[in-house]
Structures are given as C-alpha cells and as structure tokens.
Amino acid sequence: MKAIAKGSLAGAVLVAVTTVFAAMSASAAWPERPVRFVVPWAPGGSTDIVARILALDLTKRLGQQVLVENRAGAGAIVGMQYTAQQPPDGATFLLTSTGYGFLINKGSNVDFVNSFASVAMIGFSDSALVVNPYLPINSVKDLIALAKKRPGELLYSSSGVGGFPHMNTELFKLMAGINLTHVPFKGGGPAVADTAAGHTQLQIGSIPTVIGQVRAKRLRAIAVGGPKPNPALPGLPTISESGVPGYESQIWFGVFAPKALPPAIITAMHGGIGGALDNADTVKRLNEQGVDINKMSTPAFAKLMASEQEKWAKVIKAANITGE
C-alpha cells in the first residue's frame, strides 16, 4: 500500500510539474498568433474607441495583430458569455467597461468576478449630460424643471439595459426625483447617434462616446458627471453642483480573460497594456477622448471589480432597475 501511495504521489508531482512547464512554455511563446479583444458593445461607443486605440499600440508592441471584435447584445451579456466560453489560450480577451446587465438579467450566468480572470485596468472617464440642440434647456436645473412639467415624455438613449448610460441615468432620475423614459440600443454609438438625430432627447453617456457629436455641434453638453470639471469639455459644471448634489458617475475600462488563462500570460498581457499606457502618443489619444489613465496591479483591479459589482447591485436595487 505504501508503494502504491508513493507511486501515486510521484505521478501527481510529475503531472503538476509537467503542467507548470507547459504553461511556462506557452506563455514564453505568447502570442504566437493574432489576439482578439472582444468588445461586448456596438462600434462607435466609448469601449470600442478605447479598444481600438489600445489595439493599435499593442499590435506593434506584441508583434502580432491585435483585433477588435464587436459582439453586442443584451447589455453586454452576449459578448461576455462568448468570451467566457473561449479556450484559455491567450488568443481571446474581453475589453469592456461599466455595464451590469448581468445583474438585471439573473439568467445570464456570467459576471466579472466569477466568470473571468481580471487582467488590467485601463482608466476612467466621466459621464456627460448631453441633449439634442433643439431641446430648450441649458442647465441641469432646466432639465429637471422640464422633466417635472412633462413626466415620462422625455426620452433618453442608452447603450443597452444595464449599460453605463442606463445605470447612471437611472441614478440621476432617482436623485433628481424625475421620470424619464428609457430607449435602449445595442451600444453607445447607435444610442448617441439617435439623440443627435432628435429621436431621443438626451443621454448621460461617457465622454468618449459623446464628445465627437458635441464637437460637431450635433449635441449640446450641459454638465459632466465626475467629481470636478473635465478638461475634455472645458467650461462645463458638474451635475452635482448644478442641481443634483452628491451625484457622481464615472465609467471604467478594463481587460479580462477566460477564467483558466495561465497566470504567466495574464502577466504578459498586463505588462503589454502597462507599456501602452506609458506611451505618450497612446496616452494623448486616450486623454483627447476624455479617458484618464489609471494603471494598477492585477490583484488591485480584481478587488476594484468586486467592489464595483457590489456597488452597482445596490444601485439596481435602490432604483428598481429592471429589464425592459
């Protein structure tokens, strides 16, 4: 029996050592082929913009093409489920942002904490309240007054149920004591285009999503949702100081991987992203879109994701946010 036990132990050790060396060998060669960033939102939104800026830098840095693949639907759940099911071989990553449709759709069976390995934080951006230029308002107080005069008549666009514009507008409604009607799309790009066209009247979206339309004067920016004025939209007050005290809403951008990806590959990708976020040209392009770089360790990013998921679960419950 002892001989059998020793043989079993030796076999187990051999398997463990073989596994470790296989993982080390795979990570040393990584990436051997093109890498995909799955973006679970439609093209044109803030996450898509950030992904394409980062992919351009990483393509040069990693020596392999880094592609962006949009898989939108169900408030990011479609792209999240797809990425979580991919082989953990370093070929597929999820690049996403503040979006918690999976907390609303209880049958999604996916979340940031349990379904993925956290890889790297990219940064944050403030939200911005924008309106169609034909809407007769020039301030947060004007919007609140109009919404109270016409409860439920004003339409706001979002990237989808549980997406950043949906969540932060519901929080705004709750804190301002008003009623706005939600019109969800499959991404921030189509949503903001709809508001610019005048089919919906407003959006509280991320600055990278709305800034192009604001600069083209197809949308009018009223205020920003961060804790202080944002240099990307100079001269605008915060929503908090303009009529909704204490309101604050920022979007995060980060990279995840299928759960069982070898730690060495996670470390390699984290290092590549860190190098990109030290590149002055890449940082400038992100800053011009209103993104503030926020590098952190992988464990710190994982801890942040756990706290963010908990925070937004509380907002969903308090605001009684449901699928529509």
Domains 31-125+251-319 and 126-242 share a fold: yes
Q: Quick: pLDDT tens for 43-60.
A: 989 999 999 999 999 999
Q: Which of 232, 113, 247, 235 is CA-nearest to residue 167?
A: 247
- 217-224: average pLDDT: 97
The two tokens of residue 179 are 């009623």
Q: How many angstroms separate the Cα of 147 from the Cα of each of 62, 136, 150?
A: 50, 12, 5
- 61-79: average pLDDT: 95
Q: Is the pLDDT of residue 228 over 80?
A: yes
- 117-136: average pLDDT: 96
Q: How many angstroms separate the Cα of 295 from the Cα of each of 163, 252, 259, 298, 310?
A: 23, 12, 21, 9, 22
CATH 3.40.50.2020 describes domain 126-242: no
The pLDDT, as a whole number, for residue 314 is 87
The pLDDT, as a whole number, for residue 20 is 43
Q: Which of 226, 237, 276 is CA-nearest to residue 95?
A: 276
The pLDDT, as a whole number, for residue 147 is 97
Bridge partners of 50, per DSSP, are: none
What are the DSSP calls for 62-88, one per residue? Answer: HSS-EEEEE---TTTHHHHHHHHTS-S
For the chain, domain boundaries: 31-125+251-319, 126-242
Q: Is the pLDDT of residue 4 over 90?
A: no
Q: Per-residue confidence at 22, pLDDT binned at 50, 70, 90?
A: very low
User: Please, are residues 202 and 135 in contact by the beta-carbon 8 Å criterion?
Assistant: yes
Q: Quick: pLDDT tens for 296-305.
A: 999 999 999 9
Rounded Cα distance between 187 and 161, Å, is 10
User: Please, are residues 236 and 74 in contact by the beta-carbon 8 Å criterion?
Assistant: no
The pLDDT, as a whole number, for residue 28 is 62
The two tokens of residue 98 are 């503040």
The pLDDT, as a whole number, for residue 19 is 42
- 66-90: average pLDDT: 95
**In CATH, what number does 31-125+251-319 get?**
3.40.190.150
The pLDDT, as a whole number, for residue 322 is 76
Amino acid at residue number 25: S
- 20-33: average pLDDT: 65
236: left (phi over 0), alpha (psi -120 to 50) or beta: beta
Q: Quick: pLDDT tens for 157-200.
A: 999 888 999 999 999 999 999 999 999 998 899 999 999 999 99
Number of neighbouring beta carbons within 10 Å of residue 122: 27
- 303-322: average pLDDT: 88
- Average pLDDT taken over every residue of the chain: 90
- 86-105: average pLDDT: 95
Q: Per-residue confidence at 324, pLDDT binned at 50, 70, 90?
A: low
Q: Per-residue confidence at 2, pLDDT binned at 50, 70, 90?
A: very low
Which residue is listed with tokens 């799309």? 185
The pLDDT, as a whole number, for residue 14 is 47
Cβ neighbours for 277, distance < 8 A, ≥ 6 positions apart: 122, 123, 283, 293, 295
What are the DSSP calls for 249-305, one per residue? Answer: -EEEEEEEEETT--HHHHHHHHHHHHHHTT-HHHHHHHHHTTEEE----HHHHHHHH
> Up-side HSE of residue 116: CA atoms within 13 Å toward CB?
30
The pLDDT, as a whole number, for residue 317 is 87
Q: Quick: pLDDT tens for 262-301.
A: 999 999 999 999 999 999 999 999 999 989 999 999 999 9
